[in-house]
Amino acid sequence: MSHEDADAAVVRHSRADGGRVISILTGQFRDFDLAEEVWQEALVAAVTDWRANGVPANPTGWLFSTAKRKAIDRMRRAQTASRPETLAQLAREGETGIATDPRIEEHSAIDDDDLRLMLLCCHPALALESQVALTLRTLGGLTTSEIAAGFLIPESAVAQRIVRAKRKIRDAGIPLTIPADVASRVPFVLAVLYLVHNESYLGHAEGSPVRADLGSEALRLTRRLAVLVPGNAEVEGLLALQVFTQSRAVTRADAGGALVLLADQDRTQWDLALVHEGNAILAEALSRLDPGPYQLQALIAGYHANARTAEDTPWPDIVAAYAQLIRMTPSRVMRLNHAVAVAMADGPHQGLALLEAVDGLDTYHLWHAARAELLWQAGNADAALASFERALELANRPAERRHLERRITAVRSR
């Protein structure tokens, strides 16, 4: 067995089994922090062991037993006196061999462990950035450094967020349960998955390991959520949005790592199978007659995805969808997008008027970049150049910086 095969198996199981193993161990030891730590340790142990001895016949069982043995060792060392009966029982188990759990043996795609853990990681009592880090680590199987690379933040900040979140889960008594009104908690999970999706879409961190591909991880978890919480229009809406976005993942940046605008992308390379899947999911969502912001964003993404050429883009429909979206969630970024769509439908001057009316985005690079494009289209090259330069000052993502540098060169050499 090559190291690559063993490592790939560890990665696969870190994603597929984390939810179940952490859920079961948290239940047995009444300690999420412990469960999460020993799961990470078991993954590290698996890398060494599987490289040397090959992937075991029952990898999930191996990981579970290893994690559980480590948990028992830790409890022994810590001399936890608070639950002597649990400890004694677990210690006996440690001597006679680790009892497996029926849920490890007969896992099915619809078991609730992943959902339980998603709801815990995305609990509104935790800070949003902690929710994101915790979700990616426990359910995404990403390491702290991969999360840090994906979000362009220091690894110590990610570690800090995870520690803080786990401490609050323990001290404030945040439960690992599925509440009766699970629908009321789904929006919090969606917010986290949307944020990860957005970061991957806009961030596109270069030079980061392939595993830190936040976009496909967000998509995988959203697909999982759609199975665990079926019939939810907004879950389907977010899923459709991500599928549409994924369909043009390869054309989003050029070979040099610079962002390519939608209008300039090579649409023949778009993944039509994903476009069709997105259409089907969105149709399903819309048929539930329970509209929401994720469905509207999916609708907009779908209009783009289904336009075979940039000229085919149905801008008036996109304007209408943005107008609805703004009524639902009065976000400044959505008003910015609305203004750009209006410019495409009705001309740069109408778009600029709307853009100027959105205040509070003074330090947002995309506001300046959009304004620059519209000024350029309106024939005001000097103002466009100044706006592009301001956007570049504010942008910090490499792909976006490279794109803005090119635009500045183009405008200068007009």
Instruction: Kindly list the residues in this chain that would bind another protein in the complex (CB under 8 A).
Output: 123, 125, 171-175, 177, 179
Phi, psi of 155 (to 5 degrees): -60, -35
Instruction: Using the minimum distance from each CB to another protein, give the nearer residue, 163 or 273.
Output: 163
Instruction: Using the minimum distance from each CB to another protein, give the nearer residue, 110 or 172.
Output: 172
Instruction: Using the minimum distance from each CB to another protein, give the nearer residue, 168 or 267.
Output: 168
Q: Minimum CB separation from another protein for residue 116, in Å?
A: 12
Instruction: Using the minimum distance from each CB to another protein, give the nearer residue, 125 or 410.
Output: 125
CA 388 – CA 372 distance, rounded (Å):
6
Q: Minimum CB separation from another protein for residue 163, in Å?
A: 18
Q: Minimum CB separation from another protein for residue 177, in Å?
A: 7
Q: Minimum CB separation from another protein for residue 35, in Å?
A: 16
The neighbouring-strand residues paired with 253 are 259
Q: Minimum CB separation from another protein for residue 125, in Å?
A: 6
Instruction: Using the minimum distance from each CB to another protein, give the nearer residue, 170 or 267.
Output: 170
Q: How many residues does the chain have?
A: 414
Sign, CA torsion 258/261/264/266? positive
Instruction: Using the minimum distance from each CB to another protein, give the nearer residue, 172 or 283.
Output: 172
CA 206 – CA 150 distance, rounded (Å):
9
Tokens 């390991």 label which residue? 209
Q: Minimum CB separation from another protein for residue 173, in Å?
A: 5
Instruction: Using the minimum distance from each CB to another protein, give the nearer residue, 50 or 188.
Output: 188
Q: Minimum CB separation from another protein for residue 123, in Å?
A: 8
Instruction: Using the minimum distance from each CB to another protein, give the nearer residue, 183 or 328.
Output: 183
Q: Minimum CB separation from another protein for residue 126, in Å?
A: 10
Determine the residue type at 244.
F
Tokens of 147: 């999360």
CA 80 – CA 89 distance, rounded (Å):
13
How many angstroms separate the Cα of 85 from the Cα of each of 29, 43, 64, 81, 82?
11, 29, 22, 9, 9
Instruction: Using the minimum distance from each CB to another protein, give the nearer residue, 32 or 376.
Output: 32
